[in-house]
Amino acid sequence: MTETDTPGHLLTNREIADIFDAVADMLQLKGEIIHRVMAYRRAAESIRQYPRDLRAVAAEDKLTDIEGIGETLAEKIREMLDTGHLEFYDKLREEIPQGLVEILRINGVGPKRAMQFYKELGIATVAELEAAARADKLSQLSGMGAKSQQKIIEGIESLARRSTRVRLDIALTAAERILNALLELPQALYGHIGGSIRRGRATIGDIDLLIASREAMPIMEAFVARPDVTRVLGSGPTKSSVELLNGQQCDLRVLPPERYGTALNYFTGSQAHNIRLRDLAKDRGYTLNEWAFTSLTDGSEITCETEEQVYQQLGLPYIPPELREDRGEIEAGYAGKLPHLIDIGDIRSDLHMHTEWSDGKLTVRQMAEAARAHGLSYIVISDHSQSLGVANGLSVERLWAQREEIRRVDAEMGPNFRVFQGVEMEIRTDGTLDYPDEVLADLDVVIASLHSGLRQPREQVTARLLNAIRNPHVDMIGHPRGQLIPNREPADLDMDAVFAAAKETGTVLEINANPQRLDLDDAHAQRAVQLGVLLSIDTDAHSAGEFDVLRYGIMTARRGWVEAQNVINTWPIERFVNWMKS
């Protein structure tokens, strides 16, 4: 019996979200319609990020105010809050072996395949599946073969590598909410988010917060008493740790202003960067920790109120947080060669977005107006092509019908905002492209993307991408490696070959800002820049609110040493139009 099975156990937001996710998995295994499955998935995601305890929301009778929660799901939440369990969930657990739910976590294994393993071979756990695969028992099943069996083994190995880290957007949203509330206290002078969030890593472990103050206790008391705290792990005059409703640990440190710079630098990290700074301090006759520089000869201290003072003490210019990974930033600092990193204010356009013509939520005009409200001056509408049926991809006939609407909206928006027609074209599993060349030639921008066949062998999936890059009508490759954080590893591409082909043809590679993708990642973005490959940073927005994810793409780009000159959607409209024509 698990903790959540115990009668009378008070369920947390995270546990309720986990139950809804498990319900979705079991409904999938039963073959329920996808809309019912997705209702539970959306509810789980909303609850996991919700900043208030569901118990308090239920007491106010406002559960249906939460996005994705209708009256049916609200009633199920009330049942869990009142009884500590969900009868519907318990019945599903009796019908579905729980090991099958874990099998669904394996890349490439859907509900039909999982049930086939169970019904034909009696496989009900990941361990049993791995044993059967390594004993060559899966290849004999209908629809399977040696290659499919090997993919199962690789998927199991991938599952074992996954961590409990959460996506950047989930952690950053929670961190900002807490920090902003604490900074409203009169005792708080200023503060920052530290750790891997500040460095813009794609996934996050614990949340680190720092506040400068001369009166720490009122801030600490407010922190541990927050409604989104489910458990206090420790509380003291300079540091407190709590567990949030979503299961993350959050640490708060309160420092006097004169020591804030060294503390912020230390708790931003990375560990490798900090070790290099300590070595540099030692070479100059000091130790360095979160409190101060301390002389090795007489024990005197040098305190730093700002991070700039920390780097000045070491003879370095200020190094932006995203670069602090010991990947050459210290050497570049001493040589005066730190990059002038791209900033969100440099972005003038978004070249990848979807409307209700495919799987987006808004009309062309609504997306254009939302983009203009976000300060952009031109956009490319790039709905899915016909082969991606799950996303309502456009046939050629629908593509031309959409053009009429795009041209009309472009004219109506006026001369200071432009709307162009593109497409996110599927690269099919056999390597062919979704539209003939004569169709592609008539579009303003063509983005080619991989959505299926991502587990193909390295040579095959690379050849598919290279075929698209070498097509003279393909302008950009969208989210090149196809990863979904944290559930799907990227395709095994020969990225050296991809970069070489993109450089040769002038094809742009995308940094997709959706926090589930962040693809290209930072390391590949840096390599692209080194080789002179052009980049684009796009939101892949499906609604107006998703334009806000741009900042995650900017963080990733900055981690990759990307400057504005490397990114085509920093260009003024005239240069972009000339590029399209060429």
Per-10-residue mean pLDDT, the chain, length 582: 46 87 91 86 83 85 91 94 92 89 82 89 90 90 87 80 79 96 98 97 94 97 92 90 87 97 96 93 96 96 97 98 95 97 98 96 97 97 90 94 97 93 96 95 97 90 97 97 87 92 98 96 94 97 96 98 98 95 86
pLDDT recorded at residue 4 = 43
CATH superfamily of 166-255: Beta Polymerase, domain 2 (3.30.460.10)
Closest by Cα among 165, 157, 245 to 202: 165
| Amino acid residing at 310 | V
Q: What pLDDT, in 10s, does the model give residues 9-31? A: 678 888 899 899 999 999 989 88
Q: Give the residue range(s) of CATH 1.10.150.110 domains in the chain.
A: 3-161
Strand partners, 476: 447, 508
> Are 281 and 314 within 8 A, CB to CB?
yes
- Here the tokens at position 549 are 């994810």
**Cα separation, 54 vs 62, whole angstroms:** 9
CATH superfamily of 3-161: DNA polymerase beta, N-terminal domain-like (1.10.150.110)
> Are 497 and 477 within 8 A, CB to CB?
no
Architecture of domain 261-334: 2-Layer Sandwich (3.30)
Q: Give the residue range(s) of CATH 3.30.210.10 domains in the chain.
A: 261-334
CATH superfamily of 344-581: Metal-dependent hydrolases (3.20.20.140)
pLDDT recorded at residue 162 = 57
Q: Any idea of the CA torsion for 340, 341, 347, 353, to the nearest 10 degrees?
A: 150
Give the strand order in the sheet containing 239-244.
190-193, 207-212, 249-255, 239-244, 229-235
Q: What pLDDT, in 10s, does the model give residues 239-260? A: 999 988 877 889 999 999 999 9
CA distance to 68, 311, 316, 329, 560, per residue, from 320 (Å):
38, 11, 12, 9, 12
Angle CA(11)–CA(16)–CA(22) in degrees, nearest 5? 130
Q: Give the residue range(s) of CATH 3.30.460.10 domains in the chain.
A: 166-255
> Are 531 and 345 within 8 A, CB to CB?
no
Q: Crossing angle for the helix pair 495-505 and 458-469, nearest 10 degrees?
A: 10
pLDDT recorded at residue 6 = 41
pLDDT recorded at residue 442 = 96
pTM, full prediction: 0.80
